[in-house]
Amino acid sequence: MQTRRLPLLALFLIACQPAGAPSVGVGPAEASVATPDGAPAKAATTTATGPVAAPKLAEMGEGACASASLALAPETVVARVNGAPVTYEGLGVEAREMEQQALSTYCREVQKIRDNAARMAVEEKLLDAAAAAQGVDLDTFLKGQIESRAPEPSEGEIEAFYNENKTPEAPALELVRDQVVGAMMEGRQQKAYFSLMGELRTGAAVEMSLPDVRPPALKIEQPPYAPSFGGADAQVEVVEFSDFECPYCARAGEVVGEIKKKFGDRVRFSYRHFPLSFHPNAKPAAEHAQCAQEQGKFWEMHDAIFARQRELGGDGLRVAATQAGLDLELLDRCMESGRARQQVEQDMAKGAEIGVRGTPSFYINGYPFEANPDALEAAIADALARAAGA
């Protein structure tokens, strides 16, 4: 059966990526920049130097994914050379680890396909019910909701967006105005859709019972220095690896604020640093933020840094610290001690260990979240529903 879908319902992965990272679909979400030829360029396509370490393999535990294994017994003969046997065990540890990785990838991709399909089916029913309640068809209902939640930008908003995202080589605004408006509207429509679905899910009894065939969750221990909020005993834990110069991380920061308001102590959220090498101010910003953490003002500094994301060079970080209400003398002592630098480097090492490929990267209960940050609320709601039904 063919389902009804509008283009704006597609999910996009929005991230700043280093070199060597796998290709992902990047959505504009009000982040496209006009290029000299008039075509919008995605701000996440800049590359970094240096490879990203592959994730360490978790041991395959019992469960659906492990039962899908096609592993051979160690003594299985896979070849003979002049009558002498070559066993599976003789193929070496590397071959077995690659096989395990392939199985892990397979199970993760199967789960992702099923999760997306199940979520779309749930959303279809919620939308159908909401449309029926208003006595209109689905397309009319959805069009009206999106238009009311995503108004056309004003001239002032268009100019501000263009100035914030333009490159030095960008043509004049009047030459690319339609493309700028298109990029803004696409981002607004995506956000409006996720907002609508969040409201519809909140007012409905949604029970998810899809079997979980994912490989074991990653272990992401939270060090005492990591900024966090939420209940210590929350059943859902969200970890974000972020970069203060990544434009998509700034948008994700707004989503995180919304999550804090909506879920409260039901979710434990932790922030980890993963400054990318092609963002020169990202690591100093992360270190300043960790020093703010020592003063109990990490989130104030977090917001102040993102608010001046394009002005972090020079005395930009000091201005942000003043805006965040930091004691500048204590800040200087902290920076000179090297504690913050060590903490940021520990976060970077952990990110590389578990396979972070770009920012922002979210993990929900140890599983990577691979979609638009605006869909994070729905994913957390699903995780809470799973925890409640466990």
pLDDT in tens, 351-365: 999 989 899 999 999
Contact criterion met (CB below 8 Å) for 292 and 301: yes
Higher per-residue pLDDT: 116 or 139: 139
CA separation for the pair 9, 5 (Å, rounded): 7
Sign (positive/negative) of CA torsion 177, 179, 184, 186?
A: positive
Contact 130, 138 (CB under 8 A): no
Which helix (H) or strand (E) is 33 found in, with range? strand 32-34
Cα angle, residue 143 at apex, residues 139 and 149 outer, rounded to 5°: 150
What pLDDT, on the 0 to 100 scale, is given for residue 26?
29
More confident residue, 111 or 227: 227
Confidence of residue 2 (pLDDT cuts 50, 70, 90): very low
Q: Stretch 95-105: mean pLDDT, rounded?
A: 85
pLDDT: which is higher, 2 or 71: 71
CATH number of the domain located at residue range(s) 228-376 in this protein: 3.40.30.10
| Residue 51 pLDDT grade (very low, low, confident, very high; cuts 50, 70, 90) | very low
Q: Hunting for tokens 């210590």 — which residue is that?
A: 232
* H helix or E strand, kind and range, residue 363: strand 361-364
What share of the chain has pLDDT > 70, as a percent? 83
Domain boundaries, the chain: 26-48+100-202, 228-376
Please give the pLDDT value at position 13. 41
Residue bearing the bigger pLDDT, 228 or 116: 228
Q: What is the pLDDT of residue 304?
A: 97
How many Å is the Cα radius of gyration of the chain? 23
Closest CA to 197 of 237, 236, 142, 238: 142
Query: Is there a contact between 241 and 354 (Cβ–Cβ < 8 Å)?
Result: no
pLDDT (mean) for 31-35: 32
Answer yes or no: is pLDDT of 324 > 90.
Answer: yes
Whole-number pLDDT of residue 389: 66
Residue 126 CA to residue 74 CA, distance in Å, equals 51
Which residue did the predictor score with more confidence, 209 or 282?
A: 282
- Over residues 365-369, the mean pLDDT reads 91
Higher pLDDT, residue 295 or 209: 295
DSSP symbol at 324:
T
Cα 219 from Cα 386, distance rounded (Å): 19
- How far apart are the C-alpha atoms of 189 and 195, rounded to whole Å? 10
User: What pLDDT does 63 receive?
Assistant: 52
The per-residue pLDDT for 18 is 62
Average pLDDT of the segment spanning 89-116: 87
pLDDT digits (tens, 9 = 90+) for 223-262: 999 999 999 899 999 999 999 999 999 989 989 998 999 8
Identity of the highest mean pLDDT range in 94-98, 209-213, 263-267, 317-321: 317-321
Check whether 152 has a pLDDT greater than 90: yes
Average pLDDT over residues 193-221: 87
**119 vs 126, higher pLDDT:** 126
